[in-house]
């Protein structure tokens, strides 16, 4: 029996000719990632290990993005602690305010992850880098500490689910809609500790930003990782952003999958996840009359330049509803600057939206858009659990940037066709 993309990458990094699902391996790491919430714990554990140096100063990235710019004294102390650690150990990729971005948008942009890499990150959405044909997965802070010290990590080789994508998405349908459609179909545990492997002719009709959004939310189906087959668009992106050597891994024809799904992208409609699970999905024509108080467009899922362009297309010449607060957060400084130079900020501000510096802020209920009791938000973020964005009696509706922007104008959940 052959191997999947994920299994081939793991076998290579473990120095083995072949691995099988369920096998325990120790694999070499190409990148270890942490943020301002998870890295302080990892630093504490690193110090317990008793080593003086990290395994490679170029293969660790620390990105303060969750509570930054620092929202209070505690968050400031946390970032100070990891800043001092990064400086002491000579870690090259510490991204300070002014250079930072939302971590999972920043690392690909900086060229720190390429096809064939093995990446662990002390953040569950580290699975984002599968869009590049890498194996990437979230781990705990203790595993981050061990990774920083040794450059290796233990893995159980995952089983795989194959998603064969066909056709071309329609207007206003992006990667977020596709992944919400899939999560709604298989459930939040439908890919539990499995690799979600995306292939098929339809992949060519998805931009890199679409793929980042989809891989990002593999964890919301319980996936160990999400990974896309590498194609010309991937290689073009990598050559534009990175000078690192890369390796393309293609699944064997006889690779084993526990399930195979065919998705016709032309049939996918704009999709919204209702509270309080990403799997509680409805197509836009079945959402009913849901009045909202806030819209957030941003995050590691949908804060990239294409997302902002879609939002601007909807908001241009229109006004945010008087009962709605609309917050737009570009995911990195580069995206922020590009959006500004393209005139998108003028459109957003003229519409009555607020534009923020890069931060994860509202997504995790950290800052920059907390919800009060009884309030509802449409967000392009990735989770809508109870209390995720603030008060436990608030509600979060997940959507792509087109639906989010249209909802901001309408004052209720709706599509661009309604405005």
Would you state the pLDDT for residue 1?
83
CA atoms within 13 A on the CB side of 335: 32
Burial 168-180 (b: 16+ CB within 10 A, else e): ebeebbbbbbbbb
Would you state the pLDDT for residue 241?
97
> 360 labelled as ligand-binding?
yes
> 300 labelled as ligand-binding?
yes
**Domain at 272-418, CATH from 3.40.120.10, 3.30.499.10, 3.90.180.10, 2.40.50.100:** 3.30.499.10
How far is 219 from 302, CA to CA, in rounded Å?
A: 16
Would you state the pLDDT for residue 285?
94
- Which single residue is written with the structure tokens 């802020």? 361
Would you state the pLDDT for residue 385?
93
In which residue ranges of the chain is CATH 3.30.499.10 found? 5-264, 272-418
Would you state the pLDDT for residue 415?
95
**Domain at 5-264, CATH from 3.30.70.20, 3.30.499.10, 3.40.50.410, 1.20.58.220:** 3.30.499.10
Would you state the pLDDT for residue 189?
92
What are the structure tokens assigned to 330, written together?
């570009």
Distance in Å from the first CA to the final CA of the chain: 53
Would you state the pLDDT for residue 204?
96
What are φ and ψ of residue 170, in 5° steps?
-80, 180
* Triad 388, 389, 394: Cα angle to 5°: 90
| pTM recorded for the entire structure | 0.95
Contact 153, 143 (CB under 8 A): yes
Contact 134, 116 (CB under 8 A): yes
Per-residue pLDDT of the chain (419 residues; tens, 9 = 90+): 899 999 999 999 999 999 999 999 999 999 999 999 999 999 999 999 989 999 999 999 999 999 989 999 999 999 999 999 999 999 999 999 999 899 999 999 999 999 999 999 999 999 999 999 999 999 999 999 999 999 999 999 999 999 999 999 999 999 999 999 999 999 999 999 999 999 999 999 999 999 999 999 999 999 999 999 999 999 999 999 999 999 999 999 999 999 999 999 999 999 999 999 999 999 999 999 999 999 999 999 999 999 999 999 999 999 999 999 999 999 999 999 999 999 999 999 999 999 999 999 999 999 999 999 999 999 999 999 999 999 999 999 999 999 999 999 999 999 999 99
**Number of neighbours of residue 51 by Cβ within 10 angstroms:** 12
How far is 52 from 257, CA to CA, in rounded Å?
A: 43
> 127 labelled as ligand-binding?
no
How far is 211 from 129, CA to CA, in rounded Å?
A: 9
């Amino acid at each position: 029996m052959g191997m999947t993309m994920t299994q081939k990458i793991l076998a290579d990094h473990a120095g083995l000719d072949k691995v099988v699902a369920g096998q325990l391996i120790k694999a070499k790491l190409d990148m270890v990632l942490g943020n301002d919430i998870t890295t302080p714990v990892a630093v504490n554990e690193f110090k317990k290990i008793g080593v003086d140096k990290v395994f490679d100063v170029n293969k660790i990235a620390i990105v303060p993005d969750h509570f930054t710019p620092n929202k209070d004294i505690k968050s400031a102390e946390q970032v100070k602690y990891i800043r001092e650690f990064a400086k002491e150990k000579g870690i090259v990729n510490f991204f300070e305010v002014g250079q930072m971005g939302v971590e999972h948008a920043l690392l690909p942009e900086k060229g720190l992850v390429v096809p064939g890499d093995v990446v662990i990150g002390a953040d569950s959405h580290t699975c984002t880098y599968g869009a590049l044909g890498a194996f990437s997965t979230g781990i705990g802070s203790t595993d981050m500490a061990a990774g920083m010290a040794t450059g290796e990590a233990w893995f159980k080789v995952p089983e795989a689910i194959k998603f064969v994508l066909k056709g071309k998405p329609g207007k206003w349908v992006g990667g977020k809609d596709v992944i919400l459609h899939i999560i709604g179909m298989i459930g939040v545990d439908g890919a539990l500790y499995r690799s979600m492997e995306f292939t098929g002719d339809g992949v060519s009709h998805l931009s890199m930003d679409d793929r980042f959004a989809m891989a990002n939310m593999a964890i919301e189906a319980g996936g160990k990782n999400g990974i896309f087959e590498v194609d010309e668009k991937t290689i073009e992106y990598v050559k534009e952003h990175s000078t690192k050597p890369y390796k393309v891994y293609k699944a064997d024809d006889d690779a084993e999958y526990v399930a195979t799904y065919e998705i016709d992208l032309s049939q996918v409609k704009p999709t919204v996840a209702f509270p309080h699970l990403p799997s509680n999905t409805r197509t836009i024509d079945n959402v009913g009359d849901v009045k909202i108080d806030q819209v957030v467009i941003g995050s590691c899922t949908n804060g990239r330049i294409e997302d902002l362009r879609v939002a601007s297309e909807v908001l241009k010449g229109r006004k945010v509803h008087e009962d709605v607060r609309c917050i737009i957060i570009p995911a990195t400084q580069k995206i922020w600057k590009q959006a500004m130079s393209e005139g998108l900020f003028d459109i957003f501000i003229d519409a009555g939206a607020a534009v923020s510096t890069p931060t994860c802020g509202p997504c995790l209920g950290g800052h920059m858009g907390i919800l009060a009791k009884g309030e509802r938000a449409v967000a392009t973020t990735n989770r809508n659990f109870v209390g995720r964005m603030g008060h436990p009696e608030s509600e979060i509706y997940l959507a792509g940037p087109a639906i989010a922007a249209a909802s901001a104008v309408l004052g209720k959940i709706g599509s661009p066709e309604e405005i």
